[in-house]
Structure 1
């Protein structure tokens, strides 16, 4: 079975990353979600990547704050797409995690999304778009979702707009 793997560096990331899982669920895309740290549990992280790939993980989403090495560790252990979600876990407001996640050496790509909540949701959407490359049903769901979002903007505007 194909699925998306969500790996968080800490339990404190769950309150934000739940929106990632919820987004995948809304499109009926299966996922696994675990906590595994690049620093505190490196063997667990390495073993999980291998096991998840064997079970059918197609894309890994890595959420981590501060030094944020989790996405890079995942990238070093698989050729599957990695999406990094920088978390705001320090006095630097997530900028440290953003820089750590986005600054990967050549040949070890990590797609990096926004810090925090928007990044969590966008990581799910990016994973959905990748999966939709060879899944027509999922592609159609994404198109309908875009139409729905555009209609919501128009509806919200009609409630308050003033035009001359």
Structure 2
């Protein structure tokens, strides 16, 4: 009986692992956050955006090869939250300190990209880790015209 119980438990754990991988989250919507140690994963499973416990936000490809980061791991006050409020940001939230360590600064990316006409809203509605390796914030005010307002510019891996 003990062997059967162990076998059933192992099968259940394998099934839960497969279900979690199949439903890995690739998108953040306005108001959502990742705590230190949490991540987003592209639909094809090749890319992971990780809010690390050292305060850095890193995009990894193919099981651990870093391809982009915000380089905040040496900040005096370590970030412990990655959030999205129309722009992406890293924030340290502690009893003695709360502040932004990094922001996507959509407006500057938006101006440099030249992809969207001036006067268009540069705040995003969702951030997604795409299967091409790019992390992109999209504005979807008009469902017929969804456009990027910021990107990590890491596609093509």
Q: Which has the higher strand share?
A: 2
Higher RCO (C-alpha under 8 Å, 6+ residues apart): 1
Give the structure-2-normalised TM-score: 0.26
Task: Please tell me whether Structure 1 or Structure 2 has the larger radius of gyration of its CA atoms.
Answer: 2
